[in-house]
Amino acid sequence: MEASTNILEDISDYFKAIGKQITENMPEEKWIYDLNTKYYEDLYTARDRGQPVVWRSFCATPELFYAMDTFPVCTENLSGVLSLLPEGVVKYLDHAQRFVPDHLCGVNKGMIGAALAGDLPLPDAIVHTAHPCDSGLVSFDTIAEYLDIPQFCIDTPYYKDERSYRYLARELEKMVSFLEEHTGRKLDEDKLREVVENSNEAQRYLTKINDLRKNVPCPLSSWFLTLNASACFNLSGTPGLIEYLKKQYEIARTAVEENKGHLPDEKIRLAWIYTPIFYDLGIFDWMEKEFGAIVTMDMMGHFSANPIENVSDRDSIFMGLARRLTSVPMGHQAHGPTEIYSDWAIEVCRDYKADAAIFAGNFACKHAWAIIQLIKDKIYDELGIPTFIFDLDFVDPRMKSSETVKAQLADFITTLLN
Query: What is the DSSP pairing of strand 268-272 with strand 151-154?
Result: unpaired
Flag whether 228 is in a domain: yes
Flag whether 323 is in a domain: no
**Please, are residues 57 and 65 in contact by the beta-carbon 8 Å criterion?**
no
**What does pTM read for this prediction?**
0.94
Q: Which of 278-287, 298-307, 365-374 has the lowest mean pLDDT?
A: 298-307
Q: What per-residue confidence (pLDDT) applies to 26?
A: 58
CA-based end-to-end distance of the chain? 49
Nearest to 220 by CA among 352, 132, 330: 352
Expressed as residue numbers, the domain containing 279 is 190-303+336-417
> If pLDDT is split at 50, 70 and 90, which confidence band does 353 have?
very high
- The answer, yes or no, to whether residue 3 has pLDDT greater than 50, is no
Q: What is the CA radius of gyration of the chain?
A: 21
Domains held by the chain: number: 1
What's the mean pLDDT when you consider all of the chain?
Answer: 92
Q: What per-residue confidence (pLDDT) applies to 20?
A: 65
Q: Half-sphere exposure of 72 toward its Cβ, with a 13 Å CA cutoff? A: 28
Q: How far apart are CA 7 and CA 60, in angstroms?
A: 23
Q: How far apart are CA 69 and CA 249, in angstroms?
A: 29
Flag whether 176 is in a domain: no
Flag whether 313 is in a domain: no
- The answer, yes or no, to whether residue 96 has pLDDT greater than 70, is yes
Q: How far apart are CA 307 and CA 221, in angstroms?
A: 26
pLDDT digits (tens, 9 = 90+) for 138-154: 899 999 999 999 999 99
Mean pLDDT of 56-67: 95
Mean pLDDT of 45-66: 94
Q: Which of 4-13, 20-29, 310-319, 321-330 has the lowest mean pLDDT?
A: 20-29
Q: How far apart are CA 13 and CA 345, in angstroms?
A: 38
Tell me the residue type at 324: R
Flag whether 284 is in a domain: yes
Cα-flanking dihedrals φ and ψ of residue 283, to 5°?
-60, -35
> If pLDDT is split at 50, 70 and 90, which confidence band does 21 have?
low
What is the percent of the chain where pLDDT is above 70? 96
- The answer, yes or no, to whether residue 333 has pLDDT greater than 90, is no
* Residue 360 DSSP class: E
- The answer, yes or no, to whether residue 1 has pLDDT greater than 60, is no
Query: Which residue did the predictor score with more confidence, 365 or 359?
Result: 359
Give Cα 186 distance to the centre of its chain: 27
Question: 26: exposed, middle or buried (C-beta count within 10 Å: 0-12, 13-18, 19+)?
Answer: exposed
Cα-flanking dihedrals φ and ψ of residue 399, to 5°?
-70, -45
Q: The domain that contains 401 carries what CATH number?
A: 3.40.50.11900
- The answer, yes or no, to whether residue 22 has pLDDT greater than 70, is no
* Residue 129 DSSP class: E
- The answer, yes or no, to whether residue 113 has pLDDT greater than 60, is yes
Mean pLDDT of 329-333: 87
Flag whether 184 is in a domain: no
Q: How far apart are CA 307 and CA 242, in angstroms?
A: 14
> If pLDDT is split at 50, 70 and 90, which confidence band does 307 have?
confident
Q: Which residues contact 254 (CB under 8 A, 6 or more apart)?
A: none
**Please, are residues 63 and 199 in contact by the beta-carbon 8 Å criterion?**
yes
Flag whether 394 is in a domain: yes
Q: What per-residue confidence (pLDDT) applies to 367?
A: 86
- The answer, yes or no, to whether residue 369 has pLDDT greater than 70, is yes
Q: Work out the number of other CB atoms within 10 angstroms of the CB of residue 40.
A: 22
DSSP of 45-62: HTTTTT--EEEE-TTS-S
Q: How far apart are CA 274 and CA 368, in angstroms?
A: 9
Mean pLDDT of 278-283: 92
- The answer, yes or no, to whether residue 23 has pLDDT greater than 60, is no
What are the CA-CA distances from residue 359 to residues 79, 123, 307 (Å)? 21, 34, 29
